[in-house]
Every structure is written in structure tokens, then in C-alpha cells.
Structure 1
Amino acid sequence: MEHAAPRVRITSSRAPTGNPAGQSLRDEINSQTELGEVYVEGLMRAQLRLALRVLAVGIVSLGGLPLLFHFVPATRHVTFAGVPFAWWVLGVLVYPAAVLIARQYVRASERLELEFTTMVTRPVSRR
């Protein structure tokens, strides 16, 4: 009677403990094993959290502008150089803010991918 290999429960993709087959993490991912899937899903979850945070900032900031104009009546009547305050905010402030948010998003996304690549390419510890 053959004995089955003991079950291994993977609880985190942060600290690899080595694998019985002797494959590297890159091989695990390329072979689409369960361990490789855990690592890729971890990266995808981190990217999703980042995207949702950026989306929330965009919704709150852009969604807050109509509320600002509605609840602060003075903003409806203020003008600079004959142009209403609302147009200055929408035409001048929103676009640079969007570019800065996008730039931060790209940097954070690249940082996530670099951390993932570093984790996958480092040698696996054998125990």
C-alpha cells in the first residue's frame, strides 16, 4: 500500500519555505502549479487593491466637486479674470491632479511588480 505525500497548506505567498520537487518559484509559476497560482493571485489581489484605491480617490475628488459647488453657494458666483471659479477648478486643477494620481499609480504598480519579481527570482530556501 502506497502512502500519499503529506498535504501542505499554503497560507501566504510572502515567505517561501522550499518545495519538495525542488522547483524554483519561477518554475512553479510557469508550470501553473497550485503554489504558482497562489503567488500570481497574490500579485493580482495587490494590483486590484491599488486600482480600487485610485478609483476611490478619483470618485471622491471628482464626485466631491459638484457637492462643493452645490453646498457652498459662494463658489457659484466667484470669478477670476471673468471666468467662473468652477471652470478654473475643472479646467485647470483637475487635469494636473489626474496626471499626478496616474503617475503615483504607475509607480506603485511598478513597485508591486518589482517586489514580485524579486521574490520569485530569489533562491528558494531548503529546509
Structure 2
Amino acid sequence: MSTAAGGPPPPRQRVVLAQRRGARIVRTRTEVQQQTEVGDAMVRGLVRAQLGLAVRVGLATVLLLGAIPVLFHLVPRLSEVTLLGVRLPWILLGVVGYPVLLGIAWVYVRLAERNEQDFTDLTDD
């Protein structure tokens, strides 16, 4: 068989799926990409880890921010405290709450990235 230009065909090349060390990497990635039972279990494990993290962080956020109104309900005198002419509940919920939420979001992203890195390390092992 010749090419369109009329010359000889290119030499055949041997395609090797994996060498000794990389065999497991290719198999693991292939299992994930082809959605085999093993790959499916690995992806389900990652999704389960991410969901567990989201639930834990969400619950911690709700408990932390939800405790503020409960505290003011249980100790009514705290709601009368003023700082720079602004009542304490407004300061805590309107000013302090945002940096707290930002910190919680930063922690969540770092932990989610760690879960994903663990998954990548597992597939690249």
C-alpha cells in the first residue's frame, strides 16, 4: 500500500499500552474513564468524600452562625450592648459574619482540593 504521494507507507510502530512501572496508572485511569466497576467505585468514593465534607462544613456553619441569635435570646442583656453606637447583634451578624464565612469557605476549598488530590494520587499510584 502506498501513500497519496506515491511513496512507501511509513514504517509500522509498536504501540505499548504500559511499561512495567506505569501499568497500574494506565489501568486505574482506564477503569475510571471507561466506568468499570472499580472505576465507578473510586468515583463514588470521591463523591461520597466530597458530600461528607460539604455536610460537615455546612453543619458547622449553621451551628456557628445559628448560635448567635440563640445566645442573644438566652442572654437578652447582650443585645443591648453597643459598640461605637451600633448594637452588638448588628456588629456580629453584619460585620463579623462575613470574614467568618470567608474563612469557612477557604477551609472548605482547601479540604475539597485535598480530597481531589487524594483521588488523583490514587489513580496515579
TM-score (normalizing by structure 1): 0.76
Which residue is 1:43 aligned to?
A: 46
The amino acid across from 1:90 in the alignment is: L
**2-structure distance, mates of 1:76, 1:91:** 14
The amino acid across from 1:80 in the alignment is: L
The structure with the largest helix share of the pair is 2
The amino acid across from 1:82 in the alignment is: G
Equivalent position to 2:111, from 62, 86, 108: 108
The question of 1:79 aligning with 2:100 is answered no
Offset of 1:47 from its aligned partner?
A: 0.3
Which residue is 2:67 aligned to?
A: 64
The amino acid across from 1:73 in the alignment is: P
**2-structure distance, mates of 1:32, 1:80:** 59
Any gaps of 5 or more consecutive residues in structure 1? 1-17, 123-127
Any gaps of 5 or more consecutive residues in structure 2? 1-22
**2-structure distance, mates of 1:40, 1:81:** 52
**1-structure distance, mates of 2:122, 2:38:** 13
When Rg is computed on C-alpha atoms for both structures, the one with the higher figure is: 2
Which residue is 1:9 aligned to?
A: none
Offset of 1:25 from its aligned partner?
A: 0.7
TM-score (normalizing by structure 2): 0.77
Which residue is 1:27 aligned to?
A: 30
% identity of equivalent residues:
44
The question of 1:97 aligning with 2:97 is answered no
How many aligned positions are there? 102
4+ aligned runs moved over 4 Å, structure 1: none
What's the RMSD between the two structures over aligned residues?
A: 1.5
Name the structure, 1 or 2, with higher relative contact order (CA <8 Å, separation 6+): 1
